[in-house]
Amino acid sequence: MIILLSKSSLHDNYSSWLRRLNPGIHLSNAYTKSEPSLKKLLLRCSGIILTGGADINPSRYGKSIEINRCDGIDDKRDTLELELIDAAIKSKIPLLAICRGLQAVNIYFKGSLIVDIPDEVGIKIKHRNKTDITHEITVAKDSYLFQYGQAIKYRVNSSHHQAIGRIGGSLIPVAWSDDGLVEAVQLKKESSHFLMGVQWHPERMELSHNMSGSIGRAFLQKAAAFRS
């Protein structure tokens, strides 16, 4: 089973997390692939993970004037990840989007981002520090996340200064922080395609945490079934 990661050293937390869940898994870094190689991989891969990272260019969601409030813009990566989402949607490849990845999915579906949470929302909940911090989330009872964990309250890690603003079409929010920010999305119910986006970092949490291990297992089960 091949899992394509949007950007990864293949020796990082994402890789370790996936290998703990499935030691025999094959991982590939999309960011370093040529266009022909990537096209071939998309025909063979069983699932795609959009990893966390720096900010997406705000011109992608109509806020180009805000670029000075963004960090680490990488236009190559923005283009790549939007192409990966497009391929996943069109071919129904299982897709798990983490942190920045969640934001990329929202942009793909014509949503927008909050450029800086402290400036635009406030500091009732601290979402980023020099190291991971944690805060509580509330999970919707009619969501896949609730099915995985059978609970509506969790503490998750957090390391982001941007968040979903206007929710993109075809997406529904399924988890929120106490300051009202969207913490997770899935596709609307009529879709059979597995697409899950989470704002936290399950790869940096214990597998015993239901917002880590259960999400990873659900994704890998869908990935295994996709090419079977």
Does residue 189 have a pLDDT over 80?
A: no
Is residue 34 within 8 Å of residue 49, measured between CB atoms? no
Q: What mean pLDDT is predicted for residues 33-49?
A: 97
| φ, ψ dihedrals at 162, nearest 5° | -120, 165
Q: What mean pLDDT is predicted for residues 181-200?
A: 91
> With bands split at pLDDT 50, 70 and 90, how would you rate the model's confidence at 55?
very high
CATH code for the domain in which residue 154 is found: 3.40.50.880
Does residue 215 have a pLDDT over 70?
A: yes
> With bands split at pLDDT 50, 70 and 90, how would you rate the model's confidence at 132?
confident
Q: Which residues are catalytic?
A: 99, 201, 203
Which tokens is 173 given? Answer: 């929010």
134-165 confidence digits (pLDDT tens): 999 999 999 999 998 888 999 999 999 999 99
Domain count, the chain: 1
Does residue 190 have a pLDDT over 70?
A: no
Q: Taking the model in full, what pTM does it have?
A: 0.97
Full residue range of the structural domain in which residue 87 is found: 2-226
Does residue 173 have a pLDDT over 90?
A: yes
18-37 confidence digits (pLDDT tens): 999 999 999 999 999 999 99
